[in-house]
Amino acid sequence: MKWWYNGGHKWSLSQGSAKELLELLLKDGFLFDPEKMTMLPGSLGVKNGRIAGAYSVGADAPEAAEVVPLGGKAVAPGFIDVHAHLDGHANAGRRSLLQGITTSFGGNCGLSPIDTAAFYESQKDGFCVNQAEFVGHSFSLREAVGITDPRKSATPDQLNQILALARRAMEGGAWGVSFGLDYCPGCSFREVEALGRLTAEFGGICPIHTRLFTMYDMYSISEAARLALEAGVQVQVSHLVYQYPMPDLLDDAFAMMEFARDRGANIGCDSGMYTDFAAPLGSATFDPETIEACDWKYSDFLVSTGPHRGERMTEALYRELRRTAPETEIVCFSGHSGAVEYAFECDYVMPSTDAADYRPGQGHPQAIASFPRFFRVLVREKKRMTWQEAVRRATLLPADTMGLKNKGRLREGADADLVVFDPNTISDNANFAGIGTPDAPNTGISRVLIAGKTAVCENEIVNDRLGKIIPRR
């Protein structure tokens, strides 16, 4: 199999130290180690929810209660999604699980449960994937203190209330404060900076869905860089290509981030695998003024949920749904297909899904297809990166970015969150409503394990309660 060619170097794998009976042996496949940037033939042992050891071909591996022949398939750490909206929704969690995600960060774009500790408690009996949670500013915290107009800034008293709620969430295990500035255009930088400083106090992270006054201004990315520099907080620019869906815009965005990074800012980014984003029609993103400023046409919008799903928008339908069904999810076709490839040229960009909860047959295909699409398009078809690098972007890079010490790794003692897939066939099959099926199952992922237990086998979920909550420590 040509995909694992390693320049003629000898394979060498560490021998697992355990001689006692393993719980599981994934036998005779190819092991992706993102720390060593290798993909070597061998077997992987699992015991007590952790990786017990890796065994080269022909080695005397310990006996195992269960042996799964891999037949030449690959084993990698479970994929880590740094930007999603699962937030305890089981259907959303199942779609993530089916694309190989074993850990997901929710509460992004300023939308989350307010009481993080209570949310974690509600999930203590297990979920489809491991869950970590941000607390959201731009919808949740603002609405909790009575700010219902997204065009208004918080008063000093409201900001103090927001800070108190955010502090409570951080003390309850939130990983940081998320911003959806595109959805609250009236929010002041004073609010953003104050919450950034609070997050930095706890050693947390601020994911930021940047503002879009127009499709072409760069104030949005400069605000994110300013937050990192002035508040001294780690910043994660969310779903990069949705915000800057043209190669020339990405050039400017990367230049600003590099300028900030050179001056000590801790700023990174993630990107989806589509240039076509989804948002509720009633949000500020689809205000008439924004549509005009961004040079969008009604025909650029596709209805993805509800009775009109699969229909292209018209002015009449826009006015009707804004009035009667503002929760309707709309896909905006606004980007350039080459932007995705361009975005991942930067070595600190990692894939993410922006996955949310949708009814069967509805929504954006990103919710089930993002990671298989990442491997299909950027590695197998476009050859924009090696398999080793792609696995690193989907596993170790998000683990290190978020501070997950025992995930995203294939070393002995790491959590046995694992994905078994065929590099020759892994592929997405979902497509937009009216074009295809938004939740069509993927190809090429044969097994997903969480803590050493099988959650998915041959595209069928066999256990959707293996995931645990991951509070920030």
First to last CA, the chain: 43
pLDDT per residue, tens digit, the chain (473 aa), is 333 333 333 333 444 444 579 999 999 999 999 999 999 999 999 999 999 999 998 778 899 999 999 999 999 999 999 999 999 999 999 999 999 999 999 999 999 999 999 999 999 999 999 999 999 999 999 999 999 999 999 999 999 999 999 999 999 999 999 999 999 999 999 999 999 999 999 999 999 999 987 777 789 999 999 999 999 999 999 999 999 999 999 999 999 999 999 999 999 999 999 999 999 999 999 999 999 988 999 999 999 999 999 999 999 999 999 999 999 999 999 888 799 999 999 999 999 999 999 999 999 999 999 999 999 999 999 999 999 999 999 999 999 999 999 999 999 999 999 999 999 999 999 999 999 999 999 999 999 999 999 999 999 999 999 999 999 98
Query: Hey, which residues does 40 pair with through a beta bridge?
Result: 31
Please, where are the H alpha helices in 263-410?
288-293, 315-324, 338-343, 366-374, 387-394, 396-402
The reported pLDDT for the residue numbered 19 is 54
| Amino acid (1-letter code) at residue 123 | Q
> What does the alpha-carbon distance between residue 408 and residue 79 come to, in Å, rounded to a whole number?
7
The reported pLDDT for the residue numbered 17 is 45
The reported pLDDT for the residue numbered 416 is 98
> What does the alpha-carbon distance between residue 45 and residue 67 come to, in Å, rounded to a whole number?
9
Residue 276: other Cβ atoms inside 10 A: 20
> What does the alpha-carbon distance between residue 418 and residue 115 come to, in Å, rounded to a whole number?
31
Token pair, residue 125, equals: 């009996």
Of the candidates 451, 427, 417, the residue with the CA atom closest to the CA atom of residue 371: 427
Residue 321: other Cβ atoms inside 10 A: 21
Of the candidates 226, 109, 123, the residue with the CA atom closest to the CA atom of residue 177: 109
> What does the alpha-carbon distance between residue 455 and residue 292 come to, in Å, rounded to a whole number?
46
Quote the pTM value.
Answer: 0.95
Domains and CATH numbers, the chain: 79-279+332-404 (3.20.20.140), 280-331 (no CATH)
Q: Is 146 exposed, middle or buried (0-12, 13-18, 19+ CB in 10 A)?
A: exposed
Contact assessment for residue 96 and residue 455, using Cβ atoms and an 8 Å cutoff = no
Strands 205-209 and 234-237: parallel
